[in-house]
Amino acid sequence: MKRPELLVCHDCDLMQRGASCPPGGVLRCLRCGAELERDLPESLARALAFALGALVLFMISNLYPIVGLAVNGNVVRTTLWHSVEILYLDGMWPIAALVFATTIFMPAMQIVCLLALLVPLATNRKPWPAPLLFRTMYAARPWGMTEVLILGLLVALVKLSHIATVVPGVALWSFGALMLVLAGASAAFDARQFWSRVAGEPLLAGAPELPEESGSLRARRSGRTGALTGAACGIARCHACGLLARMPAAAHAVTCPRCGSAMHLRKVASLSRTWAFLAAAVVLYVPANVLPVMDTSSLFGSQKDTIMSGVVYLWVSGSWPLALLVFIASVAVPMVKILGLSYLAWTTQRRWKWLPEQRTRIYRLIELVGRWSMLDIYVITMLVALVQFNALATIKAGPAAIAFGAVVILTMFAANMFDPRLIWDALEHEDG
């Protein structure tokens, strides 16, 4: 009789017996509701088709102008690369590097690695080196922010329409298509199916059998803690490829035998690192909102705008939906991330046993919305690149742009450092 497959939740570490996933369905953790497995029919074929489309769209998006601005017969057009170059020449190299990394380099790495993994499989060959390519793709995925760039372009176009005639370029439409195709490629790619084709399905030697009524079910029904967890059994789950592996005694981390990623029962110094990144983000949040984010020079003088003044400008000009969007993404979201992560870190450090499922959901929400704070950085990038009419008008990025970009990155690092499994550890010995 075949042993039931074991699943370990990456958010609460609960070990539970696997079940067959219905067509198009999802298996979720019984304790925290995290997604454990999703049925994706023809996953690799669909991911390959999306990746090929993304490659073509990516090349078009970076070779052709995104948008043009016409003033008194003069037309200024810009590509994404040219926008990055202007920021660099203006001395704003930290912002130039951030925009380059999140809109050009990381999406390119994701597309190239995905093709390098899937094209050999389509020709019945194994990709080489599959572990390195897989890890690179997995690391690049959260930092590719094409969808945020599209919203930033929309906000920039509304602002520019009050200055001059806006001429949409080919790349504007191709970037919109690229956003959808890249999202489709990420959603279609199933790491489980990929590694099944490349390396088979390795079994975990000596994996414990779950009783007929597993610890997860008992915890669910009676409200009692002490459910069977991966840490209690010395089993870690790879966050990249999902493989389960036994941890040697007293080891903080091991290398995944399948994809080479770091595996750990708990992230080392998770809370202290989270607090460190949060403290740095709080320090920079003040100048990011007080100092000017843009400096506009024209025939009528010079004007310095903060993030809030940009929101007010959109509101009074009648674009209240975009004003609300910019306020949420650039002001509310960074503050919510800081407060939310501080709450999670503090309650976890105090070993609170209250509402662990709700706190885990808060963590997932913070991870989901973190990238959208980059919206204002992309708006500034487009405005700086296009409003270059010498004596008529020019826009330059202000010092707040660097501080704001740093806040976004620091809060993303803080969320990455926090280990949600620590939320549930306080419950494990409640009855002891």
CA torsion sign for 48, 51, 56, 59 is negative
Name the one residue in this structure whose structure tokens are 């809109």.
Answer: 103
Final residue in a domain of this structure, among 265, 283, 316: 265
Confidence band of 64 (pLDDT split at 50, 70, 90):
very high
Q: Do 247 and 195 share a domain, yes or no?
A: no
214: confidence class by pLDDT, cuts 50, 70, 90: very low
Between residues 310 and 353, which one has the greater pLDDT? Answer: 353
Mean pLDDT to the nearest integer, 230-258? 82
Residue 218 has pLDDT above 60, yes or no: no
- In terms of average pLDDT, the best of 45-59, 161-175, 219-233 is 45-59
318 or 300: which leads in pLDDT: 318
Q: Which tens digits make up the pLDDT trace of 9-57?
A: 989 999 888 777 777 788 888 888 888 888 888 889 999 999 999 999 9
Same domain? 372 vs 260: no
Choose the final residue of a domain: 222, 248, 265: 265
Check residue 216 and give its pLDDT: 42
**pLDDT number for residue 368:** 87
Asked if residue 390 is part of any domain, the answer here is yes
Same domain, yes or no: 74 and 166:
yes
Task: Mark 53-76 as b/e (b = at least 16 C-beta within 10 Å).
Answer: bbbebbebbbebbbbbbeeeeeeb
Out of 178, 201, 224, a domain closes at 201
Residue 157: inside a domain, yes or no? yes
Tokens of 45: 């074929």
**pLDDT, position 407:** 94
C-alpha dist (Å) from residue 380 to 37, 307, 323, 369: 40, 10, 15, 20
Question: Does residue 250 lie within any of the structural domains?
Answer: yes
Phi, psi dihedral angles at 66 (to 5 degrees): -80, -45
Do residues 54 and 179 both lie within one domain? Answer: yes
Higher pLDDT pick, 382 / 100: 100
Q: What residues make up the domain containing 90?
A: 41-201
Residue 331 counted as domain residue:
yes
Quick check: 406 pLDDT over 80? yes
423 in a structural domain: yes
Please report the pLDDT score of residue 268 as a whole number: 87
Q: Between these two residues, 213 and 44, which has the higher pLDDT value?
A: 44
Do residues 288 and 250 share a domain?
no
Residue 200 has a pLDDT of: 65
Span 161-169, average pLDDT:
80
What is residue 84's predicted lDDT score, i.e. its pLDDT? 92
Most confidently predicted of 104-118, 254-268, 368-382: 104-118
CB atoms inside a 10 Å sphere around CB 238: 24
> Measured between alpha carbons, how far is residue 283 from residues 115, 258, 300 in Å?
41, 41, 35
How many whole angstroms separate alpha carbon 209 and alpha carbon 167? 64
- For the entire predicted model, the pTM comes to 0.86
Chain segment 132-158, per-residue pLDDT in tens: 999 999 999 999 999 999 988 888 888
* pLDDT confidence tier of residue 208, bands split at 50, 70 and 90: very low
Identify any residues that bridge with 353 across adjacent strands, giving them in sequence order: none
Q: Please determine, for residue 90, whether its predicted confidence score (pLDDT) is greater than 50.
A: yes
Residue 32 forms part of a structural domain: no
pLDDT at 249: 65
- Assess whether 64 and 153 both reside in one domain: yes
Verify that 389 and 302 share a domain, yes or no: yes
Classified as helix, coil or strand, 203 is coil
Task: Report the sign of the C-alpha dihedral through residues 184, 185, 187, 193, in that order.
Answer: positive
Residues 104 and 138 in one domain: yes
**The domain spanning residue 183 has which CATH number?**
1.20.140
> Does one domain contain both 299 and 178?
no
Q: Is 25 inside a domain boundary? A: no
If asked whether residues 274 and 244 sit together in one domain, one would say no
Higher pLDDT, 115 or 375: 115
Q: Do 190 and 240 have their domain in common? A: no
Q: Let me know whether 369 and 398 are in one domain.
A: yes
Task: Please give the share of the chain, as a percent, with pLDDT higher than 70.
Answer: 88
Number of domains in the chain: 3
Q: Is residue 257 part of a domain?
A: yes
